[in-house]
Amino acid sequence: MHRFLRHLPTSSLRSSRLGSNTSLFNSLKPTSSYLYSRTQPSFATTFRFNSSLPVTPQKTWVDRLPPKIRPYLYLTRIDKPIGTLLLFYPCAWSITMASYALHLPVTTPLTYISLCGIGALVMRGAGCTINDMWDKNLDKSVERTKERPLASGQLTRQDAFIFLGAQLSVGLAVLLQFNWYSILLGASSLSLVTIYPLMKRITHWPQAVLGLAFNWGALLGWSAVGGAVDWAVCLPLYAGGVCWTLVYDSIYAHQDKRDDVNVGIKSTALLFGERSRLILSGLSASTISLVSYAGYLNHHTEAFYAGVGLAAFQLARILYKTDFDSRESCWKGFTGSGWAGFWIWMGALADYGLLLAA
């Protein structure tokens, strides 16, 4: 009961002290699917959130820009850079590990890490545009997404389609800076980006498809600096990245599990349910094992494994602290999982730096 009382205005509390118990009790009756009684299926009872208040959009730096361009920027989620970083880190891992293995001068990784950084920013935005074009009607029924530009009517699908063409053109311009092997490899990932929104309608594993798309850079980065993919190293690195995506995006999906049930969206959050912490712990262990194995095959030294160790600690801390029934906690867990990717990169970068200094 106290979790409802804390959201009531002070005047309501005074009224309750004066004896308006019946009125107060009526005001606390659930009016939507936010709450579930014990008489309902146990599957639904896992979806009790700490707050029944609606999600209020927060002001960001985008709101200080001209009104005409704001919807397009919000469409790309540029105000939430975590998505760009999650797409960028596998590229950075691969480029740095390839530069270490091939003893390349520092100008090479600097050039391609910069290009991949720009590409990650643009293509993450393009992916969000594609996702929102698919999900326009679904987003209207989800509390957290109903204010997105397409769902709220600020932009039309035609506006988004034209904007998507511009985004893909910039992405292509970046990709054309690479060798032909990498151009073909990079272009082949677009099919995964396109079908991802469909997967949440037909399978509980859309996070796996997202992982296949978001970690493509683990293959692309190596081919960009080496001319071709070293599959022996890159496949376990790629698989480790996919497991990592399943961890952070399952945490992310827990934010919307209540609304997802109502509108028919599937996710690993719904599939794993109360076993989420245990399953995500196993996936985290797989991430660390596979990335470590890639490092072993690439002949890395202790500096690399120190970075991987910090990544393991970060994932363990996130899974220990995250409350899967709290939107706020899940968002923090999602963003905090990104630090695991950062520490893996720092380990690879430290090893490469030691090689250059030797």
Which residues are CB-neighbours of 64 under 8 A, at least 6 positions away? none
Yes or no: say if 147 and 158 are a contact pair by the CB < 8 Å rule. no
List the one residue out of 219, 264, 267 whose CA is nearest residue 246: 267
From the number of C-beta atoms within 10 Å of its C-beta (0-12, 13-18, 19+), residue 250 rates as buried
What is the pLDDT, as a whole number, of residue 258?
87
What does DSSP assign to residue 204?
A: S
Is the whole-model pTM more than 0.85? no
Over residues 20-41, mean pLDDT: 35
Question: What counts of helices (H) and strands (E) characterise the chain?
Answer: 19, 0
List the one residue out of 357, 230, 340, 216 whose CA is nearest residue 294: 230
Tokens of 127: 């992916």
Report the percent of the chain where pLDDT is more than 70.
84
Tokens of 253: 């999906």
For the stretch 294-322, pLDDT in tens is 999 999 999 999 999 999 999 999 999 99
Tell me the chain's radius of gyration from C-alpha atoms: 23
What is the pLDDT, as a whole number, of residue 227?
94
